[in-house]
Structure 1
Amino acid sequence: MSTATDTPREPAAPQRRIDLWFAHYSGDHRNATNQLIHVICVPAILWSVIALLWCIPSPGTWFLPGFWAGAAMFATWAFYYRASRRLAFGMLAVFVAMGWLTRWLHDGYGTMHLLYLAIAVFVVAWIGQFVGHSKLFEGKRPSFLTDLRYLLIGPAWVLAKLYRRLGWRY
């Protein structure tokens, strides 16, 4: 029997895989200082990986420098597209900006200088990440140690934080 005060129950919306990944990732990143470190270091690591891939010589004469970086960015973008189209288009903008920056640095300073800069940024940013996860702040292991896909989730999680701050859905 139903009464006037009963409200019909709506079926719970199925959670998307990206929401589950973000929930787990957020559980490993509750400390405000660690979150701030991640907002700085995750994009730095992402750029450094793009720059490192940019430094790998392109096969043959058909491909320009940055071929491997472009291929990796496209594959990663496809992963994001399957998880959330809105986040994927945000990540596309991030990839384009990082690709332009990397090309500018490569064209202006050469492959070796780009390589050294990318290695330095990579090392410093990872040190920052592990400091954020140390007992000083978070006290939990990084998420990627349980599942390597969290290396891809980190940049999207940072972008999703920006989306939420702007009032955008992802």
Structure 2
Amino acid sequence: MKSLEEWFEEYGESHQNPTNQKIHKVAVPGIFFSVAGLLWLIPSLSVFGAAIAPYFAVLALVLFFYLALSFKAFVVMAIFSAFCTMVLVELQSAEADIFMISLVMFVALWILQFIGHHIEGKKPSFFKDVQFLLIGPAWVFHFFLPLTPRGET
């Protein structure tokens, strides 16, 4: 398995343009939230009599991925995931249309991402490896709180 530093180095190759980086700093966390919102809406499943919420099952797998890469990445992404969960709880209690909010955010932010990559002149990294969809959020937070020993991107 690649180290987090190796993932960041490879991801950074197609994210050199300052405009593309700014777009990613907004769009990537927003896309993470929008996917969380869509997963939030999937009803719990009954497995041997126990209710299992797909949202929390997927979240556990995602956080395990980060833990396998770095404890710091795990903590930062767990905090962000908890924030997303709290916002979703508030939206649900306010009877907001989580589906429409998530769908509009997802579509609009992906369009913005592709504009950023057009400016960059390079394809999004996930075309090479789908795991980059999970590297992107950690890479964004790495700008604000270094997640690798050297703090480099």
Give aligned-pair identity as a percent: 34
Q: In the alignment, is residue 122 of structure 1 matched against residue 122 of structure 2? A: no
Which residue among 41, 59, 69 is the counterpart of 1:73?
Answer: 59
Note the 1:94-113 alignment, pairs <5 A.
94-109=80-95, 113=97
Contact 1:86-1:169 at 8 Å conserved across structures: no
Q: Does 1:24 align with 2:16?
A: no
- What is the total number of aligned residue pairs between the two structures? 148
- Matched residue type, 1:42: V
Which consecutive unaligned segments of at least 5 residues does structure 2 have?
none
Aligned with residue 138 of structure 2, among 156, 163, 169: 156
Deviations 1:11-70 (A, max 9, x none): xxxxx6111110010111000000000000000000000000011111248538xx2111
Rg comparison, structure with higher value: 1
2:116 to 132, 135, 139: 132
Cα deviation for residue 107 of structure 1 reads: 2.4
After TM superposition, the score normalised by the length of structure 1 is 0.81
Per the alignment, residue 123 of structure 2 pairs with 141
Contact kept, 8 Å, 2:45 with 2:54, in 1: the verdict is no
Q: Matches of 1:72 and 1:50 in 2, distance apart?
A: 9
Structure possessing the higher relative contact order (Cα contacts under 8 Å, 6 or more residues apart):
2
Q: Any unmatched runs of 5+ in structure 1?
A: 1-15
Secondary structure of 2:51 counterpart: coil
Please give the root-mean-square deviation of Cα atoms over the aligned residues, in Å. 2.2
Residue 56, structure 1, aligned to residue 38, structure 2: no
Residue in structure 2 matched with residue 88 of structure 1 by the alignment: 74
